[in-house]
Amino acid sequence: MDHPIICFGQQPCGFFPKRFLFAKIITARRLQKEIGGEIVFFFHDSDHDPRETITIMRDRRSGHEVALNFQFENRIQKKFSPLYAKRVLLDWQVKTARQLPNYVGPSLVEDFKKTKSSNVADFCLEMYKWMGLLEGLRVERSSAPEFRERALAVPDYFVDVRYDGEIVRARYRDGKLLLHKGGDRFLEIPGGEFGPKQISPTCDTRFRWMQSVIRCTHYIAGASEHHYVNKADAPDVKFLKRDEISDSGKAYTEA
């Protein structure tokens, strides 16, 4: 406890972040004021689910909700590429910027326009930075090769490999690389040699994989994390619930 490490984790969760991420940040900052130490944001940009970045906002005049998301070049990239490998389309950014004044103030519109990141994960992270949410935080990314090399080996994992011109995130099981097509349907794809730089954890192995590198003393957990994180994997970590927040799944749009 000479140097507390306060950690929370989250996938890229919208080009304006969901309010539950804001709640995690606020909870971590309050704890830091009480005990000191540093805050680490574990940015799980290896996830591939395009639903993670759906951004729900409210029309400033009518009050109606709208759900916006990135557009993708092709079906393979949309369904199977990790978020750090899903490319941002310039046409999408231009068209979306035209719509944003209906939902957010001028400063956020300008932040959106000046964001030049080429992939979805970088775009989200840059927007969070413009919004001031990352000030004083150390960001560790699950896609970073150096992070992956330092992490312990886990028995259940995904492998980032090339398939049909894209980087995809394939589940490794029984010596096979599999893409989940829905239900109980999987597509086996060609494999090959791979190493730690290509591996990211499953939901069940994510915490211990992350903790082997970050070694946090306190972890701010979201509502769903309390159900699947095995706290026995880290008996020395103090787990805390994030602060409650209204409309937790909708976008945080306060600059």
d(CA 66, CA 63) in angstroms, rounded, equals 10
pLDDT of residue 191: 81
Q: Tell me whether residue 149 is in a domain.
A: no
d(CA 84, CA 141) in angstroms, rounded, equals 10
Coil/strand/helix, residue 249: coil
Q: Tell me whether residue 172 is in a domain.
A: no
**Residue 40 in contact with residue 7, Cβ under 8 Å?**
yes
Q: Tell me whether residue 118 is in a domain.
A: yes
- pLDDT tens for 21-59 read 999 999 999 999 999 999 999 999 999 999 999 999 999
pLDDT of residue 152: 96
Give the tokens for residue 240.
């805390």
Q: How many domains, in total, are found in the chain?
A: 1
Place 1 in a pLDDT band, splitting at 50, 70 and 90: low
pLDDT of residue 227: 77
Q: Tell me whether residue 195 is in a domain.
A: no
In this prediction the pTM is 0.95
Give the residue-averaged pLDDT of 10-26.
98
Residues 6+ apart with CB under 8 A from 136: 39
Beta strands across the sheet bearing 218-221: 137-141, 38-43, 5-10, 218-221, 238-241
pLDDT of residue 224: 82
d(CA 48, CA 4) in angstroms, rounded, equals 31
CATH number at residue 38: 3.40.50
Q: Tell me whether residue 159 is in a domain.
A: no
**Residue 163 in contact with residue 80, Cβ under 8 Å?**
yes
d(CA 126, CA 132) in angstroms, rounded, equals 10
Of 189, 232, 208, 209, nearest in space to 81 by CA: 189
Render 189-248 in DSSP notation, one character per residue: E------GGGEEE-TTTHHHHHHHHH--SEEEE-TTHHHH--GGG-TTPEEEEPPP-TTT
Q: Tell me whether residue 66 is in a domain.
A: yes
Q: Tell me whether residue 203 is in a domain.
A: no
Mean residue pLDDT across the chain: 95
Residue range(s) defining the domain that contains residue 97: 5-143+214-241
158 pLDDT above the threshold of 90: yes
Identity (one letter) of the amino acid at 96?
A: T
Cα 124–chain centre separation = 9
Tracing tokens 């970050």 back to the chain, one arrives at 214
Q: Tell me whether residue 138 is in a domain.
A: yes
